[in-house]
Amino acid sequence: MSIGPVLILGARSDIALATAHSYAELGHPIQLAARKSETLQTAKEDLEIRYQVQVTLHDFDVLDLENQAEFIDALPELPEIAVCAVGVLGDQDSDEQDHLAAVQVMRANYEGPASILALLANRFEQRGSGTLVGISSVAGERGRATNYIYGSAKAGFTAFLSGLRNRLANTGVHVVTVLPGFVDTKMTENLDLPNKLTAQPSEVGEAIVRATRKHKNVIYVKPIWALVMTVIRYIPEPLFKKMRI
C-alpha cells in the first residue's frame, strides 16, 4: 500500500486529530485543513516529532463553497486519502425557533462536506485512485425529536456518500462512510454519555485507518451501534413518534 498524503478536513476536531495520528503512525504525510489553521501549530509539531512525517496547515472553511476548488489546487499535492470530519451539532431547542440558525447547521453538516468531497471525487476519479472518508453519524439513521436538524443533514450526507461510492465503484476510488455513535469529544463535552456506548477519538481514528485499508464501505466504530440502530430503524412509526429517545 502506498503512503501518500492524507487530507484531514475539519482538523481541529478531536476525531480528526486522532485520525491524523493513526495515519501519521503509518508514515503518511498529513495535510491539516481547518478554520484558523494557525492554532494547529502545536498539533503539527507534535505529529512531526512523533512520527517523523511532513505535516502542512491549510485554512479551510467548508461553507466557503466558491473557493473550494482553489483550496484543493493550493494543496502541496493531491492527497491519496481525504477525511472529512467537519460537523456542527447545533442547539436543537433554539434552532427549532430560529430557522436561519437551523439552516447553518444543515449546511455545515451536509452541503459543505458533500460539496468538497464531490470536487475531490472528480479529481480522484480522474487520477483513478484514492479514498474518501466521510464522517457522518448514526443520528442520520432516523430522525428524532432531540436532534433531527443535525440528524437530517447527516442523513443527507450519508446518502450522498453511498451514492458517490456507487458511482465510483469501478474507478479505483473508494468511499468510506463512518457512522460513529457517541464519541468523547469537544462536541459532546457537556453531555452525560453512557460509558459502554461511547468511543474514544483514538478508537475512531484506528477504525478509519482499518476501514481504508480493508476497503470497508460503512463502519460504526463500536459494533454495538449497528445493533442499536437496527432496532431503532425497525420500530414502527406509530410507536416511534410517541417515544422520546
Ligand X SMILES: NC(=O)c1ccc[n+]([C@@H]2O[C@H](COP(=O)([O-])OP(=O)(O)OC[C@H]3O[C@@H](n4cnc5c(N)ncnc54)[C@H](OP(=O)(O)O)[C@@H]3O)[C@@H](O)[C@H]2O)c1
At its nearest, how many Å lie between other proteins and the CB of residue 227? 20
In single-letter form, the type of residue at position 32 comes to L
Size of the site for ligand X (CB under 6 A): 26
Q: What is the Cα–Cα distance from 82 to 191, expressed in whole angstroms?
A: 29
Which element (helix H / strand E) includes 212?
Answer: helix 201-213
Report DSSP letters for 74-108, one per residue. HSSS--SEEEE-------HHHHHH-HHHHHHHHII
List the interface residues with ligand X, window 192-221 (CB under 6 A).
none
List the interface residues with ligand X, window 162-181 (CB under 6 A).
180
45 vs 96 by CB, closer to other proteins: 45
List the interface residues with ligand X, window 30-59 (CB under 6 A).
34-35
46 vs 125 by CB, closer to other proteins: 46
Three cell numbers, residue 83: 477525511
Our CA dihedral for 165, 169, 173, 177, rounded to 10 degrees, sits at: 30
Residue whose entry in the numeric block shows the C-alpha cell 486522532: 18
Q: Does 62 bind ligand X (CB under 6 A)?
A: yes
Q: Provide the 8-state DSSP code for 197.
A: G
Active site residue 220: no
Q: Does 152 bind ligand X (CB under 6 A)?
A: no
The residues of the shown chain that bind ligand X, judged by CB under 6 A, are 10, 12-15, 34-35, 60-63, 85-88, 108, 112, 135, 137, 180, 182-183, 185-188
Catalytically active residues, by annotation: 150
